[in-house]
């Protein structure tokens, strides 16, 4: 379903702001310090998990205080929808992870299925270890397929968008983090 400009605008206007731009900035700065303290001297490859992780990756990377190489991976469960499905690989990393420390940078830890799948693949390829950092982690009662060593903020178990996370492909560019209202435009949340 294609959304009109009015529908897209209405999604943001009806949403609840969970984390302000300032709070997001503080969380990213704190994460950069934590990651730098843990991975300095490790010669890591830092992987951006596309699409959602791109905004966070771009803001985190300049704050990391150690030499690193970058790569990306594109794996998704959402593909523009509001619910996750099976993991679909669109692009695997190009740098050889054998014997290297890997750091996955993603927007959100929801169920952890995407991060677990990427982590398993990197370990199968010979990565020495895999760390994960996420801007937000959902507070939920169901289990996670994997955790994250570095977490910026928590959000309720609701559909969230902004800071790289999207609402049906829109609003990744917002500097704040929002929760969509219970019933979303054209589809139940």
pLDDT digits (tens, 9 = 90+) for 27-72: 999 999 999 999 999 999 999 999 899 999 999 999 999 999 999 9
**Which structure tokens are listed for 139?**
């507070």
Read off the pLDDT of residues 122-139 as tens digits, 9 standing for 90 and up: 999 999 999 999 999 999
Q: What is this structure's pTM?
A: 0.90
Residue identified by tokens 């529908």 is 7
- Which contacts of 179-184 are long-range, i.e. CB under 8 A and separated by 24 or more positions? 179/15, 179/16, 179/18, 179/155, 180/11, 180/14, 180/15, 181/14, 181/15, 181/16, 184/11, 184/82, 184/159
Residue 136 · residue 23 · CB < 8 Å: no
* Domains and their CATH numbers in the chain: 5-183 (3.40.50.2020)
């Amino acid at each position: 379903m294609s959304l009109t400009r009015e529908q897209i605008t209405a999604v943001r206007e009806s949403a609840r702001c969970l984390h302000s731009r300032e709070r997001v900035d503080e969380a990213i700065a704190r994460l950069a310090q934590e990651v730098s303290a843990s991975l300095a001297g490790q010669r890591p490859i830092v992987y951006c998990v596309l699409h959602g992780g791109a905004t966070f990756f771009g803001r985190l990377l300049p704050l990391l205080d150690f030499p690193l190489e970058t790569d990306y991976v594109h794996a998704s469960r959402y593909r523009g929808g509001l619910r996750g499905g099976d993991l679909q690989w669109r692009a695997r990393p190009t740098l050889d992870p054998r014997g290297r420390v890997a750091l996955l940078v993603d927007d959100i830890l929801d169920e952890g299925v995407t991060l677990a799948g990427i982590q398993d693949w990197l370990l199968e390829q010979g990565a020495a270890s895999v760390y994960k950092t996420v801007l937000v982690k959902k507070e939920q009662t169901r289990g996670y397929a994997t955790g994250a060593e570095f977490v910026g903020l928590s959000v309720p178990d609701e559909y969230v968008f902004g800071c790289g996370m999207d609402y049906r492909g829109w609003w990744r560019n917002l500097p704040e983090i929002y929760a969509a209202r219970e019933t979303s435009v054209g589809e139940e949340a």
